[in-house]
């Protein structure tokens, strides 16, 4: 299980970056489950729909529908409440959060209470949970302690931003997590070196990616061969390296002892329209993303 958390200073959205990582893994044949656990309510599903020409509704299929169903957090029930991504076969499942803050905090708390179940899901699929890094909050704190890796997206351009990140790590409880599992992705430019940031924040730098517009991050889900500005191409290259490094890190973790049983053979619903399917079909004939981004 991987947690991707955005600090207050981040310009990139944790959910969008986590989705892009999952898409890279699906292209490499890895099965993933993306869980949107934003504590403040999120427009990620709407932004995803716009970028992908999709029609995903969290109330119909997502974290809200899963919680309301009263069903246990198992692979078969998750399948019934997830969407898939066009062109990703059955490799990538999506669970979006509610739009409103009250509902988002309720579903995040529900997820945190089932941290052990989330870990067991990761025996079958690589689970990626995205949210924001906040001062000690009870909703997702159990997941912080259990996740094999916690990645923080944060800007580190100024002394003030680095100091605020250090304080946030302390106040959120992240400083209590095993140091080997606390990772930092530097969002945007920074003159601070990796060792200096580790010393200042307690987070090991696992990547540095340029900040680009959110809709361009989400377009990575469709465009296997990124075009556009040098910044956008640099983002794709560095995200490819980041996704590969995280995959290697998580693959080295020992498997969860308790197996998941009762897997449902039905696939999640594909919430995409004809245009997205056409884009995905065209993309499938191109070079793999990492080759095109090199």
Q: Please compute the mean of the pLDDT values over residues 135-147 and round it to a whole number.
A: 88
Eight-class DSSP state of 221: T
Beta strand spans in the chain (E): 2-6, 32-36, 83-84, 92-95, 126-132, 149-154, 182-187, 204-209, 269-270
Q: Is 290 left (phi over 0), alpha (psi -120 to 50) or beta?
A: alpha
The most confident of the ranges 186-195, 222-231, 256-265 is 186-195
Q: Please compute the mean of the pLDDT values over residues 98-117 and round it to a whole number.
A: 94
CA distances from 215 to 17, 211, 256 (A): 11, 12, 35
Least confident of 59-68, 143-152, 225-234, 240-249: 225-234
Q: Using a CB cutoff of 8 Å and minimum separation of 24, what contacts does 248-253 make?
A: 249/148, 249/149, 249/206, 250/1, 250/2, 250/126, 250/148, 250/149, 253/148
Eight-class DSSP state of 233: H
- Is pLDDT of 89 > 50? yes
Least confident of 29-33, 79-83, 207-211, 255-259: 255-259
The pLDDT tens digits for 194-232 are 999 999 999 999 999 998 988 888 887 777 666 677 888
What gap in Å lies between CA 103 and CA 80, rounded to an integer? 20
What gap in Å lies between CA 59 and CA 66, rounded to an integer? 9
**What is the reported pLDDT for 219?**
81
**What is the reported pLDDT for 254?**
61
Please report, rounded to a whole number, the percentage of residues in the chain having pLDDT higher than 70.
83
pTM: 0.84
- Is pLDDT of 262 > 80? no
| pLDDT band at residue 135 under the 50/70/90 scheme | confident
- Is pLDDT of 290 > 80? no
Q: Please compute the mean of the pLDDT values over residues 114-127 and round it to a whole number.
A: 94
């Amino acid at each position: 299980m991987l947690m991707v958390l955005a600090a207050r200073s981040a310009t990139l959205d944790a959910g969008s970056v986590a989705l892009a990582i999952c898409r890279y893994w699906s292209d490499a044949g890895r099965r993933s489950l993306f869980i949107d656990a934003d504590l403040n309510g999120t427009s990620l599903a709407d932004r995803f729909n716009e970028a992908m020409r999709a029609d995903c509704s969290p109330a119909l299929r997502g974290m809200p529908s899963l919680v309301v169903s009263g069903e246990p957090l198992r692979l078969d029930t998750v399948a019934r409440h997830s969407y898939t991504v066009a062109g990703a076969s059955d490799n990538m499942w999506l669970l979006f959060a509610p739009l409103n803050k009250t509902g988002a905090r309720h579903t995040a708390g529900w997820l945190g209470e089932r941290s052990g179940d989330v870990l067991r899901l990761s025996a079958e699929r690589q689970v990626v949970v995205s949210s924001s890094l906040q001062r000690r909050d009870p909703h997702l704190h159990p997941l912080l302690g259990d996740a094999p890796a916690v990645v923080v997206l944060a800007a580190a351009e100024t002394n003030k931003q680095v100091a605020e990140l250090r304080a946030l790590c302390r106040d959120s409880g992240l400083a209590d997590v095993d140091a080997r599992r606390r990772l930092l992705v530097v969002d945007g430019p920074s003159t601070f070196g990796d060792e200096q940031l580790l010393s200042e924040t307690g987070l090991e730098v696992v990547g540095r990616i340029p900040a680009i517009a959110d809709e361009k991050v989400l377009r990575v889900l469709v465009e296997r061969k990124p075009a556009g500005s040098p910044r956008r191409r640099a983002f794709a290259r560095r995200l490819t390296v980041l996704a590969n490094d995280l995959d290697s890190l998580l693959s080295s973790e020992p498997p969860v002892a308790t197996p998941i049983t009762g897997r449902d053979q039905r696939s999640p619903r594909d919430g995409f329209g004809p245009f997205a399917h056409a884009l995905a079909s065209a993309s499938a004939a191109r070079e793999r993303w990492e080759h095109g981004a090199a």
